[in-house]
Amino acid sequence: MGRGDRSAPSLECSPAVPRGLPIRLRVNGALRELRLDPRVTLLDALRERLGLTGTKKGCDQGACGACTVLADGKRVLSCLTLAVTCENRDITTIEGLGSEGTLHPVQRAFIAYDAFQCGFCTPGQILSAVALLAEGRAGSDAEIREFMSGNICRCGAYPNIVAAIRAAAGAAGEADHAVAGEAGRAAAGQADRAGV
Ligand code: FES
Ligand code: FES
């Protein structure tokens, strides 16, 4: 190998790590046992070893957000995350977010608002949006844009992406409202029955 050779580390074992490090990853709720070169990124482990190709490799250097997945509910760039650091963390990829019959509300909103063109950035956009909603960062279009700014869309679908996230945030708010309303009505019923 020449000095200029910058080929990616092998996904299997390097001579220095004869059999690779044993690692257990919990991906989309399933425990997966692998042996990996410790230099392998989470992105390559997901795509090349586990066949989860929904997570996309764009820049492979932390600049585009295409590789975004959730680790314990927080968004991470899987191209900058070593797989060995993810042991005992819950990894969620786009494959684990919803199923064909029951899409996640953010997935439904992206379809309803036509929030993609080529679709390459979409898995990362959707996972980032799911985390953004959990972070409570959908208060305004400007806030959505700011907290989605790590996810680049080369097709320029930004207006529709923002609209989809705003709609998903509204739907989540209405659901919360309905749950709160039901809880309130239940509490009032209990108080009535108790004669309070
Ligand atoms: Fe990870 Fe671009 S592929 S940020
Ligand atoms: Fe093509 Fe975003 S939809 S890059």
Residue 183 has a pLDDT of 41
Domain co-membership, 125 together with 82:
no
Q: Ligand 2 centre and the CA of 154: distance in Å?
A: 5
- Give mean pLDDT, residues 145-150: 98
Domain co-membership, 103 together with 172:
yes
Among the candidates 71, 96, 121, a domain finishes at 96
| Confidence class for position 187, pLDDT limits 50, 70, 90 | very low
Residue of 121, 126, 149, 160 with the most ligand 2 atoms within 8 Å of its CB, for mutation? 121
Count of the separate structural domains present in the chain? 2
Q: Ligand 1 centre and the CA of 24: distance in Å?
A: 23
Residue 79 CA: which ligand 1 atom is closest?
A: 1
What is the identity of the amino acid at 145?
A: R
What pLDDT, in 10s, does the model give residues 149-186?
999 999 999 999 999 999 999 977 665 555 444 444 44
Residue 96 has a pLDDT of 97
Q: Is 193 exposed, middle or buried (0-12, 13-18, 19+ CB in 10 A)?
A: exposed
| Ligand nearest to C-alpha 157 | 2
**pTM check: above 0.75:** yes
Residue 20 has a pLDDT of 87
Q: Which has more confidence, 12 or 38?
A: 38
Other C-beta atoms closer than 10 Å to the C-beta of 64 total 22
Would you give the DSSP letter of residue 131? Answer: H
Residue 18: pLDDT over 60? no
Domain co-membership, 84 together with 127:
no
Domain co-membership, 56 together with 5:
yes
Q: Which domain holds residue 60?
A: 1-96
Domain co-membership, 11 together with 85:
yes
| Ligand 2 site, residue 121, Cβ cutoff 6 A | yes
Domain co-membership, 169 together with 195:
yes
Domain co-membership, 148 together with 66:
no
Domain co-membership, 88 together with 159:
no
- β strands within 9-109, DSSP E: 21-27, 30-36, 68-71, 74-77, 90-92
Residue 62 CA: which ligand 1 atom is closest?
A: 4
Among the candidates 66, 96, 126, a domain finishes at 96
| Of 98, 78, 152, residue with least CA distance to 121 | 152
Instruction: Residue 63: give its domain's CATH number.
Output: 3.10.20.30
Among the candidates 96, 117, 150, a domain finishes at 96
Residue of 110, 126, 155, 161 with the most ligand 2 atoms within 8 Å of its CB, for mutation? 155
Domain co-membership, 70 together with 120:
no
